A and B are shown apart, each in its own frame.
Chain A
Amino acid sequence: GAGVSQSPSNKVTEKGKDVELRCDPISGHTALYWYRQSLGQGLEFLIYFQGNSAPDKSGLPSDRFSAERTGGSVSTLTIQRTQQEDSAVYLCASSLGRANYEQYFGPGTRLTVT
């Protein structure tokens, strides 16, 4: 079946502009994660959605970052007033959630802020 998809694959934006990154998880997966991967760094946890529970937003680096998940499926990560330090690869992953812990990752969106 289809894996996790993300769009766009690459995004170049000017400093100060808003961007939206999209994630389509695997059908039936109730858990969805967003990570940020900066050059030479590991994966930085941003936010976690599980079913209808309130999301864990503890990893969002500032109030310019927000995310939503509509209908328990597609998720959008929004970055407002982008800064150069926001340049990174943004990865989305989904899993069956609860006791099942295997994450399936999308190919990521490379964001470049000029």
Chain B
Amino acid sequence: AQTVTQSQPEMSVQEAETVTLSCTYDTSESDYYLFWYKQPPSRQMILVIRQEAYKQQNATENRFSVNFQKAAKSFSLKISDSQLGDAAMYFCASKGPSGTYKYIFGTGTRLKVLA
């Protein structure tokens, strides 16, 4: 069975600094997808970034990038130039191969951004 582990319940970062959120996963699939979602206080979950397991290149979306280590089953999120609006819960999630639909979510990391 797939599992997703986020070992950091809470992280803090100074505004304009860089922070990395950790995520490890376990799957027996060779083809899968990984995601980071952001949940601000409004509760609306927003997709931040996604990575296809077959792609070796790390995904990047503006200030957000991932460090995907397939052999280590690690999928960390790096936020550069942190902004006050980045404060939120961040969830790591995995999904199996194309044609499957179940997502497995981690327990989340609360990110605080200090002015």
Contact = CB atoms under 8 A, between A and B. Distances in A.
Contact of B105 (A31, A42, A98, A108): A42
Given A42-B108, A101-B33, A102-B50, A108 B43 contact: yes
Interface string A87-114: 0010101000111011101111010000
A1 interface: no
A97 B106 CA distance: 22
A103 B33 CA distance: 13
Contacts of A12: none
- Number of contact residues on A: which range applies? 20 to 34
A93 B45 contact: yes
A101 B50 CA distance: 10
B44 interface: yes
A99 B98 contact: yes
Contact of A102 (B6, B47, B105): B47
Contacts of A31: 101
B44 A105 contact: yes
- The secondary-structure label for the interface of chain A is strand
A48 B96 CA distance: 15
B95 interface: yes
Given A99-B98, A99-B99, A103-B103, A43 B91 contact: yes
25 contacts: A31-B101, A33-B101, A33-B103, A35-B105, A41-B107, A42-B105, A42-B107, A42-B108, A43-B91, A43-B103, A43-B105, A45-B103, A45-B104, A50-B101, A89-B43, A91-B45, A93-B45, A99-B98, A101-B33, A101-B95, A101-B98, A102-B50, A103-B103, A106-B44, A108-B43
Interface of A: 31, 33, 35, 40-43, 45, 48, 50, 56, 89, 91, 93, 97-99, 101-103, 105-108, 110
Given A42-B91, A98-B99, A103-B47, 15 more contacts: A33-B103, A35-B105, A42-B6, A45-B103, A50-B101, A93-B45, A101-B33, A101-B95, A101-B101, A102-B50, A103-B45, A105-B45, A106-B44, A107-B42, A110-B43
